Amino acid sequence: MKMRLTALLLLCFSLLFASGQIIPKPLQSIKNSNAFTLDSHTRFYTDTPLAKTAVTYLQDHLQNASDYRLKQIDTPIVGTLHFHYAPQTVTKAEGYRLSIDSKGILIQARDRSGFFYGVITLMQLMPKQIWGESSVKKWRIEGIEIIDAPRYRWRGMMLDVSRNFFDVAYVKKFIDRMAQYKLNRFHWHLTDDEGWRIEIKRYPLLTKIGAVRGPGTKLPFSSFPTMRGPKDHVQRGFYTQAQVRDIVAYAKARCIEVLPEIDMPGHAKAALVSYPRLLTDPKDTSRYRSVQRVANNTLNPGLKSTYRFLDGVISEVVALFPFDYIHLGGDEVPKGAWNRSPAVKKLMQKHHLKSRRDVQNYFFTRVDAILKKHGKKMVAWQEVLQGSPKLRNEDMVMAWKSPKAGYRAIEKHRNTIMAPVQYLYFDQQYKRAKGEPGQKWSTPVSLKKVYSFRPKRTCCLKGVEACLWSETLLDEHIADYFAWPRALALCEIAWSAPEHRQWHSFKKRVQQFALPRLKVQHVHYRPVN
Ligand code: ACM
């Protein structure tokens, strides 16, 4: 009896502490007393092409950190790193089973992502130097058995590149760091009032005019949102289509889908100043400002040319992004937009639309049909659910104003992503303190606050996403500071079972393991005290 109790206690102990290095916390893990040493003599064997992404990622890191790659062999002998296709053993999508002992390493999975996440976990069990450049040649890895799979399929991070532009190198860093924590949806906020950042060949002025901001340009916002660099400076930047393709491929090599956002009908000042003749009703005398105080920033749903333009833009966007979804914005259409537009008045009469909401719903029904024609589904901010929109069941809503807003969308049987500002807007201050950078228009979002978010499990809830809006992201250091370590809490909310999550254990893992790993990679994270 006593023996059995001791064994049970030992088991509980190992379950609690074995996976101490791993973020997000795995479903199950049990340590063993063996260890494996991986070095240049280690060989790898795979019985499936699904392991290719994982193998390449590991090999690239070994090359960087140790200056060698593992050679492949065609029989799984003792002492190898073995990738095994095992749909009977691993039943969940993106799941994996990792077994390490003195005889070798076995990673089993049923899909590309599962093998990739098996490798990510393996690398987290290796000394932190594997994430950087080093002279380490031998990697001792403690024995362990891990069974793991994610809670949510959608584990996202958004980067706003409109308010302040980030170059290709930073976007890649952002994506790579996401992948290291098993986040799998990169939401790329490409257009807004302050800049249009993606090349559209049919409409070259979008980037010639709409991607240039500052004195003497058509986007001369002076104080808010803040521009990077001195006030008399002109800021420009956009991604060519070749660069977009390169970034999408980079993300794919890390099992990340890229969700592009073309924000409409509000937040469209950059498009409006680029193509005013096409996008504005000449007789419209409406005068209004957005909540961010940008004047007259909204596309006109009463003009045929608006839809022609959007069809043209969308057809180029869908050709660049293989993901099933495109984000079409829908947030914060300012009060007063369209009030005095004869084109909108005519549209309302023709289609018996009674209110601004009806007009917005009409607009989204039409742009959703454009997406459908191009074989894509829509993601949009929660505002698209005002009134009775006619959207497709497979479309997805992002709830940003509160968790309650998300549950309201779920009650309407809408596929929903939770991105509530109170927990997941990473541009908000960590805490109210003098000198603390960040936005103050919502509550502070501390690391603990992010970690405390526990969305209820329902079938329409597809996942969680954090948003990094860039009004105050004046350089990459600040961007890093806002994102890390909060993204560590995000990944654990998105991946790990809530009953296995515990703040003090998480904080310890962050301090002991995750922050040193981020340091190796020169991430300018905010210290955890
Ligand atoms: C938003 O924060 N306007 C989605």
Domain membership of residue 2 (yes or no) is no
Domain membership of residue 3 (yes or no) is no
Residue 225 binned pLDDT confidence (cut-offs 50, 70, 90): low
pLDDT at 167: 98
Residue 224 binned pLDDT confidence (cut-offs 50, 70, 90): low
In the predicted model, is pLDDT for residue 514 greater than 70?
yes
What is the arithmetic mean of pLDDT over 377-395? 94
CB 309 within 8 A of CB 300: no
Using a 6 Å cutoff on CB, does residue 142 contact ligand 1? no
What is the arithmetic mean of pLDDT over 407-430? 97
- 275 and 260 assigned to the same domain: yes
Alpha helices in 126-216 (DSSP H): 168-180, 205-208
Residue 14 binned pLDDT confidence (cut-offs 50, 70, 90): very low
- 193 and 101 assigned to the same domain: no
Ligand 1: nearest atom to the Cα of 267: 3
Angle at 250 between CA 246 and CA 254, to 5 degrees: 165
pLDDT at 4: 53
- The residue from 148, 182, 203 where one domain ends is 148
Residues 60, 72: Cα–Cα separation, whole Å: 15
- 352 and 384 assigned to the same domain: yes
* The one-letter amino acid at 351: H
Residue 34 binned pLDDT confidence (cut-offs 50, 70, 90): very high
- Assign residue 25 the CATH number of its domain: 3.30.379.10
Using a 6 Å cutoff on CB, does residue 381 contact ligand 1? yes
- 216 and 307 assigned to the same domain: yes
Give the model confidence (pLDDT) of 445-461 as tens digits: 999 999 999 999 899 99
Task: Identify the H or E element spanning 277.
Answer: helix 276-279
- 135 and 158 assigned to the same domain: no
Residues 310, 318: Cα–Cα separation, whole Å: 12
* Mean predicted lDDT score pLDDT of the chain: 94
- 104 and 193 assigned to the same domain: no
Residues 134, 350: Cα–Cα separation, whole Å: 68
Cα within 13 Å of Cα(123), Cβ side: 25
* The one-letter amino acid at 410: I
pLDDT at 222: 60
Token pair listed for 296? 């007259």
SS3 130: helix
* The one-letter amino acid at 233: H
- 187 and 141 assigned to the same domain: no
Domain membership of residue 453 (yes or no) is yes
Give the model confidence (pLDDT) of 239-296 as tens digits: 999 999 999 999 999 999 999 999 999 999 999 999 999 999 999 999 999 999 999 9
Instruction: Return the residue whose CA atom lies nearest to atom 3 of ligand 1.
Output: 331
Domain membership of residue 4 (yes or no) is no
- Residue 140, beta-bridge partner list: 37
Domain membership of residue 529 (yes or no) is no
pLDDT at 99: 98
> In the chain, what percentage of residues exceed pLDDT 90?
90
**In terms of Cα–Cα distance, which of 81, 257, 243 is closest to 179?**
257
Alpha-carbon dihedral 214, 218, 223, 226, rounded to 10 degrees: -60
Tabulate helix, strand, coil % of the chain (nearest 5). Answer: 35, 20, 45
Domain membership of residue 10 (yes or no) is no
From the CB of residue 412, how many other CB atoms can be counted at a distance below 10 Å?
13
Neighbour-count burial for 349-373, b at 16+ CB within 10 Å, e otherwise: eeeebeebebbbbbbbeebbebbee
In the predicted model, is pLDDT for residue 235 greater than 50?
yes
Give the model confidence (pLDDT) of 113-132 as tens digits: 999 999 999 999 999 999 99
Local structure of residue 382 (DSSP, 8 states): G
CB 345 within 8 A of CB 277: no
Alpha-carbon dihedral 402, 406, 407, 412, rounded to 10 degrees: 140
**The residue to which tokens 């492949």 are assigned:** 72
**In terms of Cα–Cα distance, which of 469, 405, 457, 376 is closest to 153?**
457
| Residue of 163, 294, 298, 381 to mutate, ligand 1, most atoms within 8 A of C-beta | 381
pLDDT at 16: 45
- Assign residue 440 the CATH number of its domain: 3.20.20.80
Range of the domain at 201: 154-470+478-520
- 222 and 135 assigned to the same domain: no
pLDDT at 227: 76
Task: Identify the H or E element spanning 371.
Answer: helix 356-373
Ligand 1: nearest atom to the Cα of 467: 2
Angle at 194 between CA 246 and CA 226, to 5 degrees: 110
What is the arithmetic mean of pLDDT over 361-385? 97
Domain membership of residue 6 (yes or no) is no
| Residue of 400, 401, 465, 472 to mutate, ligand 1, most atoms within 8 A of C-beta | 400
- The residue from 107, 131, 148 where one domain ends is 148
Give the model confidence (pLDDT) of 333-368 as tens digits: 999 999 999 999 999 999 999 999 999 999 999 999
Local structure of residue 295 (DSSP, 8 states): B
Instruction: Return the residue whose CA atom lies nearest to atom 1 of ligand 1.
Output: 331
CB 53 within 8 A of CB 60: no
- 124 and 192 assigned to the same domain: no
In the predicted model, is pLDDT for residue 529 greater than 90?
no
Domain membership of residue 365 (yes or no) is yes
In the predicted model, is pLDDT for residue 8 greater than 90?
no
pTM summary value: 0.96
Angle at 435 between CA 173 and CA 468, to 5 degrees: 30
What is the arithmetic mean of pLDDT over 289-318? 96
Domain count, the chain: 2
Among 8-12, 149-153, 325-329, 378-382, the minimum mean pLDDT is found in 8-12
Instruction: Return the residue whose CA atom lies nearest to atom 4 of ligand 1.
Output: 331
Using a 6 Å cutoff on CB, does residue 331 contact ligand 1? yes
Which H, E and C letters describe 437-504, residue by residue?
CCECCCCCCCHHHHHCCCCCCCCCEEEEEEEECCCCCCCHHHHHHHHCCHHHHHHHHHHCCHHHCCHH
Residue 13 binned pLDDT confidence (cut-offs 50, 70, 90): very low
What is the arithmetic mean of pLDDT over 146-165? 97
Using a 6 Å cutoff on CB, does residue 400 contact ligand 1? yes
- 34 and 62 assigned to the same domain: yes
- 426 and 455 assigned to the same domain: yes
CB 117 within 8 A of CB 148: yes
Distant-in-sequence, close-in-space partners of 326: CB < 8 Å, separation ≥ 6: 259, 260, 261, 262, 314, 317, 318, 371, 376, 377, 378, 379
CB 310 within 8 A of CB 278: no
Alpha-carbon dihedral 74, 79, 84, 89, rounded to 10 degrees: 150
- 261 and 130 assigned to the same domain: no
- The residue from 124, 148, 172 where one domain ends is 148
Give the model confidence (pLDDT) of 189-223 as tens digits: 999 999 999 999 999 999 999 999 998 999 977 65
**In terms of Cα–Cα distance, which of 333, 306, 323, 300 is closest to 203?**
306
